[in-house]
Amino acid sequence: MPSLRPSRLLLRSCRCLLLALGALAAAAPAWGQLGLPGVPQLPGGLGGQLPSRLEDGGLRSRLRERVLDMTELPRQVASLDQLRLATIRDLLARHPAQLEADPRGFPIVRREILAWSPSAAGLAAATAAGLDVASRQDMPEVGQTLVVLRVPDGVATAAALDALRAADPEGVYDFNHVYTGAEGGAGAAPASGAGAATGGAVGGTAGDVRIGLVDSGVDARHEVFADARIVRWGCDGAAVPAPHGTAVAALMVGKSARFSGAAPGARLFAADIYCDQPAGGSASRIVQALAWLAREQVGVINISLVGPANRTLGSTVAALVARGHLLVAAVGNDGPNAPPLYPASYPGVVGVSAVDPKRRPLPEAARGPQVMFAAPGSQMAAAAIGSPPYKMVRGTSFAAPLVAALLAPELPAPAPSQAARALATLSAGAVAAGDGTGRGVVGENLRVPPSSFR
């Protein structure tokens, strides 16, 4: 066999490198979206370090984008599906005392069932089955009551749920599903010194624009929030900063000499539903956070979280949509053939996908009728906890906050007619980009490229 020339050897080596990087790049977005506890961040997702030299970072970024373009979608989608299953199994294995799996394999809070304004008959059936009322919260803003029922030992959670649904067919009962997407949500240690800050407003910049955020904690000590006003909810008033919540918040309201979010100066109402707890991100916490935002009359709310359909969460979302809120949610990074994820797929929710600088949907982004808009979601920077203070982010989680920030000035408070006008206004300015982008691409000028940190 004739020997290969040096140039052909180099070409073959490069192809091998591309394939290796392709495997990492295909997996990276799912890690960044899921943000499951203790999972190491691969290049390309949340946590991709910005280079000190533009040339190095530009080459790496272009190489990752090129690799994703070259990767066959069926193989990539299979990897994403397997990755989600693996990370969920890891989450369940490391927190068996707090979490278990529902019959479909989705993580739920162990031995908890959610009841949405249960009837007297439903509560009687729960008592007869040995279930205890763990908590009850009235939500006058949406005219409902959230009841958390505790399943006794020796009774399977799924069996108890089936019995309740049979005894009260008109009731709304479901598992307390755990939703992912917040980097470092449950079980991840916060940055050094995190938690030293207290709840309440941070900074003093006033503004008429109000935006809601349901995510993990925000590091308000970061320089991009120096002049921001942040109103906190959750964690008993303590601050528990996390990378995902900090990055998403910065993309909405952050501002520094090197960085600008989509709506700097807007007032951010940030609900931390994780609080560094194993059962963080539960449906019950999301529902409570949404009730708080409804009480505060926040018109536009960003939710960069993904998970299964849940009757209690779906009922809450429907109630807020009916009140005239705009809920903006990431559609997820499980690939174009993945089943719909929620809350983005609920009726009335503004589902957001992510595109690259050429307006191409990211290969890992979900597709389907739940996509209403697309926004920048790669080759962009956001605030990070620790050093360096800015990192590259990628995924639909980071496209959604841009859309939320664009809608917020048009909807200062919930109102159905004004919400419709806000969507119509944004749609009118969207750039048609074909399949996978819904009504079109918006916010292209809001991408902060790595070159800003040269």
Among 315, 320, 329, 258, residue whose Cα is nearest residue 293: 320
The overall pTM is greater than 0.95: no
H-run or E-run covering 7: helix 6-34
Rounded CA-CA distance 248/441 in Å is 19
Q: Which pLDDT value is given to residue 405?
A: 98
Neighbours of 191 (CB within 10 A): 17
Among 155, 159, 157, 137, residue whose Cα is nearest residue 146: 137
Classify 398 as helix, strand or coil.
Answer: helix
Q: What is the DSSP string of 212-279?
A: EEEESB--TTSGGGTT-EEEEESGGGB--B-HHHHHHHHHHH-B-SS-B-SSTTPEEEEEES-TT-TT
Classified by CATH at the fold level, domain 107-177 comes out as Alpha-Beta Plaits (3.30.70)
Task: Give residue limits of the domains in the chain.
Answer: 17-94, 107-177, 210-453
Q: Which pLDDT value is given to residue 274?
A: 95
Q: What is the pLDDT along the chain (454 residues), one digit of tens a residue?
A: 444 444 444 344 444 433 333 333 333 333 334 333 322 232 234 445 554 433 333 334 433 433 333 333 444 545 666 677 777 888 899 999 999 999 999 999 999 999 999 999 899 999 998 999 999 999 998 889 999 999 999 999 999 999 999 999 999 999 999 998 733 333 222 333 333 333 333 333 335 899 999 999 999 999 999 999 999 999 998 999 999 999 999 999 999 999 999 999 999 999 999 999 989 999 999 999 999 999 999 999 999 999 999 999 999 999 999 999 999 999 999 889 889 999 999 999 999 999 999 999 999 999 999 999 999 999 999 999 999 999 999 999 999 999 999 999 999 999 999 999 999 999 999 999 989 999 999 999 999 998 888 7
H-run or E-run covering 137: strand 132-139
Q: What is the DSSP string of 33-93?
A: HH--TTPPPPTTSTTEEPPSSHHHHHHHHHHHHHHHHHS-HHHHHHHHHHHHHHHHHHHHH
Rounded CA-CA distance 367/353 in Å is 8
Rounded CA-CA distance 16/429 in Å is 43
Give one word for 249, left, alpha or beta, with left for phi > 0 and alpha for psi -120 to 50: alpha
Q: Which pLDDT value is given to residue 243?
A: 93
CB–CB of 372/328 below 8 Å? no
Q: Which pLDDT value is given to residue 86?
A: 79
In the chain, DSSP finds a helix count (H) and a strand count (E) of 10, 15
Q: Which pLDDT value is given to residue 290?
A: 98
DSSP H helical segments within 99-146, as ranges? Answer: 120-128
Classified by CATH at the fold level, domain 210-453 comes out as Rossmann fold (3.40.50)
